[in-house]
Amino acid sequence: MKKRTRKPLAFLLTMLLLLTAGAQVLAETPTEEKQVVSEVLEQTAQKEEGKAEQKAEESQQESVPEEKKEEIQDEKSAEQTAGNHTEQDTEQREGSREESTGQTEGQTAGTDQMQSEETGTDGLKTQTEAAEADEIRTQAAGATVTLSDSIKTDGCLHAEVTGIADGETVQVKWWKSADKTDGSWTEVTRKKITEDRYNISEDRKSLNVALDGGARSWYKVQILDGEGQVLAETAQPYQIPYYNELRNGDFESPEILNRQSYQPFYDSGADGVVWKTTAKSGKIEFVSADKKKLDGISGLTHQELSIQWHKVEAAADASGGGTQFAELNANESGALYQDVLTTPGATLYWQLSHRARGADSDKYQSGAEDTMYVLIMSTELAEKYNVTTQDKVNRVLSDIRRGGTTYPGARVETITSDNISWHQYSGTYQVQDGQYLTRFFFVAGTTASGDPSVGNHLDAVWFSETLPPPNPENGHLKIQKTVRGLTEEEATSYTLPVTITRTDAGNGSTGEPIRIELTGFKKDAQGNYQASYTQANLPAGTYQVEESVPGMDGYTVRSLCQGQEGTGARIAVPEGETATVSLLNEYTPDLVKLTVTKKVNGNMGDPSQKFAFTLEVNGETKTFTLKDGEKAAFEFPRGSVYTITESKASGYTTTINGKNSADRTISQTLQSDTTVEYVNRKEASVPTGVSDKARPTGLWILLGVFGAAILLPGRSFWKRFGKMKRRKQQENL
């Protein structure tokens, strides 16, 4: 059986139509691409033409004399040099055009090849950034940081940084320790201490020791780059040389030993003594009235000698075990002094015991009187005017008495006592603005004997920014409050109302309630927040302490008082002592779940691409990434306000929970478990030539298909068609 074959002519016509359509597509190629193709073809033709010319020259040189050949060779070398430059320029232009063509193809068609080229570009960029980072680290390799102390003038330590490139941004971190030897360092964060004062400056290079409560603490500093790498650290931690209270106010150190003189003299500022003196000799006289210790020379007890020569039978704080005191008029008139770290605006409390010595001719407890002064002033002013001698101290006293203004903020108290017993005195002092170091002088005045080398006994000196011991028959009640589980912003704005009511006022009645509010909570090393309040000089008795616990949105709270469940307790306030009641409020977040999911679709969507997100909740920020099909889950207190923002991804449109979102952001209040769905879609059309811009091409293709349908039938079809045509012609004849 003979096989049926299709006419070759039909096949050729079909191919012709299809090639014509292809030519139309080429005609629609962007002008830039056609220009590049034309230029490449032109350059190729030029190169071929150059090769032909070179062969022709070589043929001609065979018939040229030697002298002429040398001239031609020189001209050729010059032309070759010029040609090299021209070829390099041409190659650079070709490279630029190829890069431009590659970018156009990547944006239009999104081919895998151009994605690979783009990845390579990112890699080069990453390498460049890494090189720049290495250069910065190299420049910072010689970075150093040292601490300078200007506490006397502004209360601060300053971080002095060197070896950092100009314009380079660095981080400054402060660290603090009560004891550097145990390795317990805590980072010091910037906090608002008063209405307009912070413990750390805005640029983080200065730390206010007074506002940070840093008396006798150790500090160190680290300098970090933008990536958190440590560039430098202080070579040695620095200890603050100041206390926030007077030291050795009972004069019990150094201890006067048995068989030692009952009234030794110590050097000003010696170890253990702490105190300094304005006496020219630089000596400070201590006296022991210990009845159990013997004098090394006379064999009498220290107490016997104290009574005989000083008319003092015991130290002022004998009830607390004290046996020693000091004499201001040692071998001349003088003053004892110390510097104390203070906070501007704070109220200082001071207290002391004073007793006269009297005259040698006076009998024991004769009633003779001595006078002394308490002088309080800025340490900066004291050093400015060199107030370190008795004459300079007297000059300050005189200026204050006549209302002078040479020593602004200085204050003096006059104290006069007899020699019959110890007398207790107390007072307050308001720290001046900008005064971070305060100097306390205890100054010898007139004496009963008129002899500047004897008189004015001093003991139980006390100072602090807290209250002094209670008066007789009274006691103090301290309320110590701990708040746990809140954020810093919530805790620092926390206010706790407390009432104190006496329950044994007599006849079954109660006293008038005292209402206070605890504020100013500060974060401790454990992350809890602490505040305290002391109600001073309450009559000794029993009191009911009750707190009103504030509710906090998004939390449940558990209250403990004295370690027991409840918001209050009954507590006894003993005479002459301080009773403490402890209150704890533990807040537990009422948590709900927030889930973020990701879907990627569209014919150009990349399921492996990571999309970056930023989540802000209650002032805190988190970042994360998600790919197609992934999700991220978080838990936050009920009532939290959250904001989610997705970083822009080129070519993608975004919907959030089914709604289009141009800014890719959603912000809502979290009341229950919530899921937020992000869908990213990326579409791109394939250049088929059927679009409006390629309408002629589409028509050509359709015609080609139609022609193929006509021309492709077999031989039998054309044979029948021929017979019908001939029959029609015969009929017409």
- Would the CA dihedral through 115, 118, 120, 126 be positive or negative? negative
Identify the pLDDT of residue 553: 78
Identify the pLDDT of residue 93: 45
Is there a contact between 380 and 450 (Cβ–Cβ < 8 Å)?
Answer: no
List the chain domain ranges: 33-57+69-97, 142-239, 265-464, 474-584, 591-681
**What tokens does 514 get?**
């005292």
Amino acid identity, position 331: N
Identify the pLDDT of residue 38: 53
User: Any idea which fold 265-464 has?
Assistant: Jelly Rolls (2.60.120)
- How many angstroms separate the CA atoms of 514 and 477, rounded? 12
Identify the pLDDT of residue 473: 81
Does the 591-681 domain belong in CATH 2.60.40.1140?
yes
Return phi, psi of residue 126, to 5°: -60, -40
Identify the pLDDT of residue 122: 44
Task: Please state which CATH class domain 474-584 belongs to.
Answer: mainly beta
Pairing of strands 156-162, 144-150: antiparallel
pLDDT 10s digits, 609-655: 999 999 999 888 999 999 999 999 999 888 889 999 999 999 999 99
Domains 474-584 and 591-681 share a fold: yes
**What tokens does 667 get?**
């912000």
Identify the pLDDT of residue 181: 74
- In a 13 Å sphere around the CA of 40, the CA atoms on its Cβ side amount to 10
Identify the pLDDT of residue 550: 84
238, with CB counted inside 10 A (0-12, 13-18, 19+), is middle
Identify the pLDDT of residue 491: 87
Q: What angle do CA 396, 400, 401 make, to 5 degrees?
A: 115
Identify the pLDDT of residue 349: 85
Regions of the chain where pLDDT drops below 70: 1-141, 195, 359-365, 466-469, 505-510, 685-722, 725, 728-729, 731-733
Identify the pLDDT of residue 676: 96
Is there a contact between 630 and 661 (Cβ–Cβ < 8 Å)?
Answer: no
CA proximity to 154, closest of 372, 433, 430, 498:
433
CATH for 142-239?
Answer: 2.60.40
Identify the pLDDT of residue 90: 45
Identify the pLDDT of residue 488: 86
Output the pTM of the full model: 0.50
